[in-house]
Amino acid sequence: MENLTLSIAEARAIALRSQGLAEEAAPFGAGREAALEAIRHLGYVQMDTISVIQRAHHHVLWSRIPDYDPEMLDALQSTEASVFEYWNHASSYLPTRDYRFSLPLMRKHRKEMHWSEESPELRKAMRRLMARIRSEGALAISDVEATTMVRQWSNDLSGKIERRAFHELWIRGDVMIRSRRGVQKVFDLPERVLPAATELKPPSKREAADFHLRRGLRALGIARMQELHYLRDGGHATEVRQALAGLIKKGEVIEARVEGFPAMPVFLLREALALATPLTASRIRFLSPFDNLTIQRKRMAWLFGFDYTVEIYVPAAKRKYGYFVLPVLWGDRVIGRFDAKAHRKERRLSVINLVFEPGFAELGGIEAGFKEALDEFARFQGCDHWEILRVEPAGWLLSSR
């Protein structure tokens, strides 16, 4: 299929349908099985601890599963063990059926300490924890008394050296997170967590590259080369490039261009061409900053013309839009963004700053859909009411409900 050129509408349709964010109301079905199917299809769901609104991993699944409840994810991890927590490009929920593809990273970290200084104290703490878990069973940090206080990774706060030790054991694969007590991790031995049928044979480099490439294309739909090795643990661009050439040669993957970007090659699975019919529905969705669609900011720029930065690490006085800003998706267009905070005790959701994209001229056509989407979003936050405190352009929908 030489010289294939897709319109931007076709490229967006492929991407959004592949992400489960197109017209279909429940692309993965309903209930806990749908949550598992979504994680398997997407390949991962990134975790985040920020709680001004519902946490990112729950937000991602709620955006795709209408009846989603956070208890579903807890059950998938702690009851079924069909998902597990490990490092992707960040801490993520991953399908347990793909566990063996995390083994190379675990093996790498057994050879080098992760985010920490090599120290006899840390090694001793790791040995103590492993001995206790083997003899006593699963442990959380609250079950362990501090022997030494140390500076934590990215700040000057002190914490138990055992917290660092748990992290090292986890990133090496010596322990797994069995469950959570609230936000606190409960660690246990992999053999006591993984289902008996879990495949434990490490993949070859080529097998791993093929797996990650197919996983990326299945979830992204259409992607540039750099977007396909973005989620790997560094140094894998050559392997992905070789795997891509092999899949193109087999006819499994197609190289194409997108109108407006004649010099930019993009890639897609051959079967993804069936998803290219431009979208006609115009549903409003509020996406997490860590959604699988939004996490690659340069991809958002070329595919949706949306310049997006998360400002949580920017000093308040220098923020342009707000602390935790959510992109607003309308059909196949990203039309704006807003900063939000859930006041849970008052059961009130505040939209602190709502800003539409320059040139967006269809405000009158989205008011009803926007209010309906805010109603649903507020309920997901455990809120009965919402308010919009500031909007640009001024005067549009500056109200509450």
Q: What is the pTM of this model?
A: 0.93
pLDDT of residue 398: 62
pLDDT of residue 98: 97
Asked if residue 291 lies in contact with residue 63, where contact means CB atoms within 8 angstroms, the answer is yes
34, two tokens: 């749908």
pLDDT tens profile 230-247:
655 545 678 888 999 999
Q: How far apart are CA 238 and CA 244, in angstroms?
A: 10
Average pLDDT for 152-169: 76
Average pLDDT for 361-383: 93
Indicate the range of 152-166, 286-300, 329-343 predicted with least confidence: 152-166
Say if residue 156's pLDDT is above 70. no
Indicate the range of 61-65, 109-113, 381-385 predicted with least confidence: 109-113
Cβ-in-10-Å burial (0-12, 13-18, 19+) of 321 comes to buried
| Cα torsion through 230, 117, 105, 41, rounded to 10 | -50
Q: How far apart are CA 120 and CA 113, in angstroms?
A: 12
Average pLDDT for 121-127: 92
Residue 144 is classified by DSSP as: S
pLDDT of residue 146: 77
pLDDT tens profile 294-349:
999 999 999 999 999 999 989 999 999 999 999 999 999 999 999 999 999 999 99
pLDDT of residue 160: 86
pLDDT tens profile 246-278:
999 999 999 999 999 999 999 999 999 999 999
pLDDT tens profile 184-211:
999 999 999 999 999 999 999 999 999 9
Asked if residue 269 lies in contact with residue 252, where contact means CB atoms within 8 angstroms, the answer is yes
Pick 66 or 395 by higher pLDDT. Answer: 66
Helix, strand, coil abundance in the chain, percent, nearest 5: 40, 20, 40
